[in-house]
């Protein structure tokens, strides 16, 4: 598909599928450099930095409030290459993965945190299969949040609203991260958590992944509109997800069907509630 070819060309030309400059991708977060001894690298990701910067800002706020010692690559961050893998550019993916793996490993960080479900899936599953020497531990923010809440490192305000959670395919049915986001959400004081009829392994896809949104936006929004209806049927006030692609698509769908649901990334919700 032409849009997918454009993504590939942009990644090799600009280090991101959107054709943005390196400076654009760090405008939403502090351009930290690698302090000696830092074990944690926050991988911001192309979509979080260039399309939904609120996710990047919320993630860094949470990490800082919890006193997590972390760094970012700043202008040196490239693309994980996941979109290449999903759209059939296999050899191109291998080249990008090898380059990105070297950049990550040079930091000396043993842990890589990301708030992007697609990046997480790529680093967690695709990199070890493609680059046998890749030893950095990928962690998604839903895992971080569950741990921070469990260990009392985040104090949260009351939130007397009904919340439901949409499972992104890349961290859900692909890698089984189901309990962690629910554990975190259920710890929010005064909040009521409800499941949609189709959840976890049976969750309805938002329609955006695998390059579908890039080539067939109307189709993806139509699919996401059904997910909006799922959330409305359980009388949720807030629909939370943990993927910037899902976030974008669900927001577009909510506008199209005139839904009053508030759509948030899980990092946005928790950043808002920190005391």
Same domain, 137 and 169: no
The strand pairing partners of 40, in sequence order, are: 70, 111
Q: Is residue 135 part of a domain?
A: yes
Same domain, 129 and 179: no
Same domain, 22 and 138: yes
Looking at 145, 168, 201, which one is the last position of a domain? 145
Asked if 216 and 143 touch (Cβ cutoff 8 Å), the reply is no
Determine the Cα–Cα distance for residues 108 and 243; give it in Å rounded to an integer. 26
Q: Is residue 167 part of a domain?
A: yes
Same domain, 204 and 80: no
Same domain, 137 and 204: no
Q: By C-alpha distance, which of 14, 10, 168, 7 is closest to 87?
A: 7
Domain count, the chain: 2
Asked if 247 and 55 touch (Cβ cutoff 8 Å), the reply is yes
What integer pLDDT is reported at residue 34 of this predicted model? Answer: 61
Instruction: Please give the residue range of the domain that contains residue 160.
Output: 156-273
Q: By C-alpha distance, which of 236, 234, 251, 244 is closest to 265?
A: 244
Q: Is residue 151 part of a domain?
A: no
Determine the Cα–Cα distance for residues 180 and 167; give it in Å rounded to an integer. 11
Strand order in the sheet with 262-265: 192-193, 162-165, 238-241, 262-265
What integer pLDDT is reported at residue 218 of this predicted model? Answer: 78
Same domain, 177 and 134: no
Asked if 56 and 48 touch (Cβ cutoff 8 Å), the reply is yes
Same domain, 73 and 114: yes
Q: Other C-beta atoms within 10 Å of 67: how many?
A: 8
Per-residue tens of pLDDT for the chain, all 275 residues:
566 778 789 898 999 999 998 888 878 787 666 656 689 999 999 999 999 999 999 999 999 999 999 999 988 999 999 999 988 899 999 999 999 999 999 999 999 999 999 999 999 999 999 998 999 999 999 999 999 999 999 999 999 999 999 999 999 999 999 999 999 999 999 999 999 999 999 999 998 777 667 667 778 888 899 999 999 999 999 999 999 999 999 999 999 999 999 999 999 999 999 99
Asked if 35 and 76 touch (Cβ cutoff 8 Å), the reply is no
The enclosing H or E element of 79 equals none
Q: Is residue 59 part of a domain?
A: yes
Give Cβ neighbours of residue 95 (< 8 Å, ≥ 6 apart).
Answer: none
Same domain, 141 and 42: yes
Same domain, 28 and 58: yes
Q: Is residue 150 part of a domain?
A: no
Determine the Cα–Cα distance for residues 175 and 128; give it in Å rounded to an integer. 14
Asked if 15 and 96 touch (Cβ cutoff 8 Å), the reply is no
Same domain, 161 and 203: yes
């Amino acid at each position: 598909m032409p849009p997918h070819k454009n993504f590939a060309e942009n990644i090799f030309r600009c280090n991101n599928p959107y054709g943005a400059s390196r400076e654009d991708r760090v405008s939403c977060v502090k351009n930290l450099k690698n302090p000696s001894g830092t074990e944690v690298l926050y991988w911001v990701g192309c979509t979080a930095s260039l399309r939904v910067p609120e996710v990047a800002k919320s993630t860094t706020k949470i990490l800082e409030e919890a006193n997590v010692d972390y760094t970012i690559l700043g202008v040196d961050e490239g693309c994980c290459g996941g979109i290449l893998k999903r759209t059939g550019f296999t050899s191109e993916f291998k080249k990008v993965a090898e380059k990105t793996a070297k950049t990550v490993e040079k930091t000396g960080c043993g842990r890589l945190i990301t708030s992007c479900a697609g990046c997480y899936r790529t680093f967690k599953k695709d990199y070890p299969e493609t680059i046998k020497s890749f030893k950095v531990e990928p962690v998604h923010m839903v895992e971080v949040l569950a741990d921070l809440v469990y260990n009392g490192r985040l104090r949260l305000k009351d939130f007397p609203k009904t919340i439901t959670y949409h499972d992104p395919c890349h961290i859900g049915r692909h890698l089984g991260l189901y309990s962690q986001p629910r554990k975190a959400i259920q710890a929010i004081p005064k909040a009521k958590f409800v499941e949609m009829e189709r959840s976890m392994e049976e969750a309805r896809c938002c329609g955006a992944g695998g390059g579908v949104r890039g080539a067939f936006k109307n189709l993806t929004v139509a699919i996401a509109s059904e997910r909006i209806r799922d959330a409305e049927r359980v009388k949720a006030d807030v629909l939370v997800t943990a993927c910037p692609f899902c976030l974008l698509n669900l927001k577009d769908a909510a506008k199209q069907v005139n839904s009053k649901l508030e759509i948030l990334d899980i990092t946005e919700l928790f950043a808002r509630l920190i005391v």
